[in-house]
Structure 1
Amino acid sequence: MSTTSPSLRLSGHLAPVADEIDATDLPVEGTLPPELTGRYLRNGPNPLPGEQPAHWFTGHGMIHGIRLRAGRAEWYRNRWVRTSALEGEQMLRPDGTIDRSVGVANTHVIAHAGRILALVESSFPQVMTPDLGTMGPCDFDGRLTTAMTAHPKTDPVTGDLHFFGYDFRPPYLTYHRLSADGELVASAEIDVPGPTMMHDFAITDRHAVFLDLPMTFQIERLASGMPYGWDDRYDARLGIMSFETPGEVAWFDVEPSYVFHVGNAHTDSAGRVVLDGARYAAADARVMWEALGHDPAGLAADAAATGAARFHRWTLDPATGTATETALDDRVVEFPTVDDERVGREARYRYAVSDARGRAAIVRFDAARGTATEHVLGADTVAGEAVFVPSVAPGRAEDDGWLLSIATRRDGSASRLLVLDATDVAGPPVAAVTLPRGVPSGFHGSWIDDSEIGG
């Protein structure tokens, strides 16, 4: 296995933009639902002009935002997250310790307890203003001493934010919980055999579910920009931790694989934990990881053959200590999402994006029927993560709402914010907002309603 990467190639829909702009009164095709009053924010890596990052994952964070209100698209703006890393500071101090306030904040952006947080899994979160200014790093009054995952999970009933931090030095894994009002109220170290790249996890109404998989820290890979790689010697396990006993985890052996992103998890009537996500089989994980370091756009061109994830389910039975694994669908998918009000609970629908051999689509999975429906974008356009926004109708059905996704031309020349009816994903968009520039394909985002941040 190679320990260095060829020069990184970011072109077309992955090419970074060189500046920050503002635009108002954006053109809208169709009709924006007036219930959409808030901001759609999307994060992703965007190196400064002239910079050549060693890996796609390491560019400085840039947030693209679209403000919707009263059926209008009031503005678009993009801003780099103005971290100390953007100013040239290094995370590794001269004495060998890590400064967690330094980081690129390039992976996700969420709202919690009235604050907007830009996230990357190696550092503290960065607090942002509603207009995308950067206020600075947050360690929750000094209580957070590890990194914070870019994929925390909000319990829709308690409002608590569950998350973790992983490290290449002990403690390798630490669980944390923020209260609904933003106070760090629990932290617990979790024993794992070594330093794995744990990008995501899941919760149920009573558990955290951890993914201890064979993508490990490897010092010889430092020159590649991402010092992690597939490790045949490291066992693959999933772990269940009760919220009542933080730090105590029951582990379940599974087939070697890697998962960047989970869809959801829940506890079934038999007390088993059911987890689903986008799973890379071992061979696909190796191909995917090497491609991400030099030509991530090229991966999709042949993803139907290898290097791709498929939707998968694991059922973990505490009574027997065994895990059952099931393939749910054969199509290539990534970035699975779920209605935030169903996080940790049984949910009928998942949403994802697919892009294989030039055929991009937004996909809705129906667990009750075992079917999938696609909104096909065609050969010239790629879709970003589809974020579900619920309708405010009383007694709404689970899929009563909209999917928001930034769709970008493959050549990077133009982008639109698509608003799809989640009950009719295959149908035409309810609305499409023309953005003033091509928005590079990035990572994750959130719909942040005005009520979450006070307008």
Structure 2
Amino acid sequence: MDRRKLLRLLATAGAAPLLAPLAHAAGPENWQTEFNAAGAPWKLGFATPPGDLPLTPATVRGRFPDALRGSLYRIGPAGHDLGGERYHHWFDGDGMTQRFLIEGSEVRHQGRYVATAKRTSELRAGHRLTEGFGTIIAGVEPPESPDSINVANTSLLPLSGELLALWEGGSATRLDPRTLDTLGLKTWRADLAGLPFSAHPKVDPDGTVWNFGVGASQGLLVLYELAPDGALRRADAVPVPDLPMVHDFAVTDRHLVFLMPPLVYDAQRKQAGASFLDAHVWRPELGMRVLVVDKKDWKKRQTLALPAGFLFHLGNAWSEEAADGTVIHVDYVRSNTAASVFTTNREVMRARRVRCAEPHLTVATLNLGSGRATQTTLPLEAEFPRIDPRRVGLRHRRVVHATQVAQDRPGFAAIAVTDVESGSSQCFVYGQQAMVEEHVFVPDGAGAGWVLGTVLDFAQKKTVLSCFAADRLGDGPVAQATLPYSLPLGLHGVFVSA
């Protein structure tokens, strides 16, 4: 099948899971009422800001290093309820972008909802008009296309003077990086309009951008290669049998690496009225398939096998030559099952804490010559892994990640830097009344670099931005900026120097 036919099929695949008839809606329980009545103080992280947040100064302790002069952008689900109807999954909320403008001893913050077509039309109507990733809304019409339910709430990519707000199932959304104004959808080529452009692109040290998109119902994986200036170099579709839910991937200097958990889309479930999430089935007999694609020739592909498990995020991958061929090393955050996406991330929408299998930092070795894959799980609870951006696709050792799963609330209590080769780790514990968000690594010339990130202090009802020396994380923050208010818990972010 030629490329254009595959891309047309992928466009159908993007819409088909979402255009199925709605056979039933969510149960009669009122999640908004339950959330409002709950006494859990941490529910603040899942509350809905009533509107945009103007540029506001933070209270700064210490001084942020010169290497951090610039902006930390973060994004996540924030619009969780509308017209008395609350979403039933954290990932469904309308996206809100946060900007922390850092200038030494001064930090200012602004936050704006992404004005997607979905959010604009629903605000005008005063109620939800379409379903979400994990929520069926009674009485709504099926969406016209994936972008009609695009919430632009997962990640951000600075590219060619713009800031792209990314989702899983549709187009990237263009933002002005200074004002956070929404500028419209990004289309690289007419036949790619509306195709999924996923939330975790990888940027090579030379600036080349790689990404993918999942067309679940047709078993098609679309691949993208962009030049450093944002121009499209290549896009094509690759057939993958039993294509699962894939959120992230990794690159080496020569390969694209996809870890594919056995969480597979079932069209019959969707046709019976399930949400897109609930149309997926856990099939552990498939194991964790690993798809390795040659960067230069996407027709050169190899599949390896790891034990069944689930993941959201990868840290990094790199390759070396051995006597029997190429060996790829890749680190990722692994759980035994996918229960978290079905239960933990759903029940927080009514302020309930439900624990599932905890994620752990895991290092896999893929021998392309023998076709054998092995892995080692480190005794470290982990999520949101990030590395030095200069080492993407190259040999690395340090991974920054959240750690220490909290017992009585969702999320993590500490941030860590772990050496994935030796297993040694240093961490800073924020405390039992703080919910740790993703922290990023910011280089500083030839120095050790800095770790920069946010936490929600739900005791103070404030969000705090902290900076650590990457080689002395355990010493605590060298600077902190405390906002006079709290922000909803977000997902991913990126630092852009001034």
SS state at 2:192 partner: coil
- What's the offset of the Cα at 1:336? 0.7
Give me the whole-angstrom Cα distance separating, in 2, the residues matched to 1:351 and 1:150: 19
The question of whether the paired residues in 2 share the 8 Å contact of 1:107 and 1:118 is answered with yes
Output aligned runs, 1:287-436, within 5 Å.
Answer: 288-295=341-348, 303=355, 306-327=356-377, 329-354=378-403, 355-357=405-407, 360-391=413-444, 393=445, 396-397=446-447, 400-410=448-458, 413-436=461-484
User: What does the per-residue CA deviation read over 1:143-176, in whole Å, with 9 as the maximum and x for residues that have no partner?
Assistant: 534201100000112x111000102222521111
The answer to whether the 8 Å contact 1:7/1:294 transfers is: no
Please tell me whether residue 226 in structure 1 is matched to residue 312 in structure 2.
no
Counterpart check, 1:41 vs 2:73: yes
Contact 2:315 2:331 in 1 (8 A): yes
Q: Is 1:56 matched with 2:90?
A: yes
Q: List 4+ stretches of structure 1 deviating above 6 A.
A: 3-7, 91-97, 296-299
Cα pair 1:275 1:315 within 8 Å, conserved: yes
Q: Is the contact made by 1:389 and 1:403 (CA closer than 8 Å) also made in structure 2? A: yes
Contact 1:30 / 1:432 at 8 angstroms: preserved in 2? yes
Tell whether the 8 Å contact from 1:101 to 1:124 is kept in structure 2 after alignment: no
Deviations 1:250-278 (A, max 9, x none): 00011111110001100024221111110
Change (3 A) 1:248 1:376: same
From 102, 117, 121, give the equivalent of 2:168: 121
Deviates further, 116-125 or 182-191: 182-191
What is the one-letter code of the residue matched to 2:348? D
Indicate the residue corresponding to 2:330 in structure 1. 275
User: 1:229/1:446 Cα in 2 relative to 1: closer, same or farther (>3 Å)?
Assistant: farther
What SS class does the counterpart of residue 117 from structure 2 fall into? coil
Distance 1:288 1:55 in 2: 9
Task: Give the alignment's TM-score, normalised by structure 1.
Answer: 0.88
SS in 2 for 1:289: helix
Larger helix fraction of residues: 2
SS in 1 for 2:66: coil
* Counterpart-to-counterpart distance in 2, 1:376 and 1:242: 41
Q: Aligned pairs, how many?
A: 435
Question: Matched residues in 2 for 1:279 and 1:434: separation?
Answer: 33
Identify the match of residue 217 of structure 1 among 234, 245, 265: 265
Give distance in 2, aligned partners of 1:294 and 1:59. 14
**For residues 166 and 240 of structure 1, do their structure 2 counterparts lie closer, same or farther at Cα, with a shift above 3 Å needed?**
same
* Higher Cα radius of gyration: 2
**Secondary structure in 1 matching 2:91:** helix
Change over 3 Å in CA distance of 1:302–1:82 after alignment to 2: closer
Distance change >3 Å, CA 344–CA 195, structure 1 → 2: same
Superposition RMSD in Å = 2.7
Q: What TM-score results when the alignment is normalised by the length of structure 2?
A: 0.81
> 2:240 is matched by which residue type in structure 1?
V
| Contact 2:118–2:148 (CA under 8 A) maintained in structure 1 | no
* 1:418 Cα deviation from its structure 2 partner: 0.8
Distance 2:117 2:58 in 1: 32
Q: Does 1:106 align with 2:153?
A: yes
Q: Which amino acid aligns with 1:72?
A: E
Is the 1:272–1:316 contact (alpha carbons within 8 Å) kept by the matching residues of 2? yes
1:137 aligns with 2:192: no
Paired residue for 1:185? Answer: 233
Instruction: Tell me the SS of whatever aligns to 1:100.
Output: helix
Q: Deviations over 1:62-114 (max 9, x none)?
A: 011111124421x2111000000102375999898634375100001121222
**Please, which moves more after superposition, 223-232 or 401-410?**
223-232
Deviation string for 1:35-87 (max 9, x for gaps)?
322111111111254441131111100011111124421x2111000000102
Is the contact made by 2:219 and 2:242 (CA closer than 8 Å) also made in structure 1?
Answer: no
Contact 1:187 1:246 in 2 (8 A): no
Equivalent of 1:242, from 290, 294, 302? 294
1:105-143 deviation digits (Å, cap 9, x = unpaired): 000112122221000011100110122110011011425
Q: For the residues of structure 1 that align with 2:224 and 2:394, how far apart are their CA atoms?
A: 20
Q: CA deviation at 1:297?
A: 9.3
Q: Which runs of 5+ in 2 are unaligned?
A: 1-24, 36-42, 123-128, 133-139
Residues 1:331 and 1:369: Cα distance change in structure 2 (over 3 Å): closer
SS in 1 for 2:163: strand
**Residues 388/223 of structure 1: CA separation in 2 closer, same or farther (3 Å cut):** same
Match of 1:170 among 212, 218, 221: 218
Structure 1 residues 430-453: Cα deviation after superposition (integer angstroms, max 9, x where no partner) = 111111311111100111123xxx
What secondary structure, in the 3-state scheme, does the structure 2 residue paired with 1:196 have? coil
1:4 and 1:313 mapped to 2: Cα distance? 39
Identity of aligned residues (%): 28
Q: Against the structure 1 CA distance between its residues 356 and 274, is the aligned structure 2 distance closer, same or farther, given a 3 Å change threshold? A: same
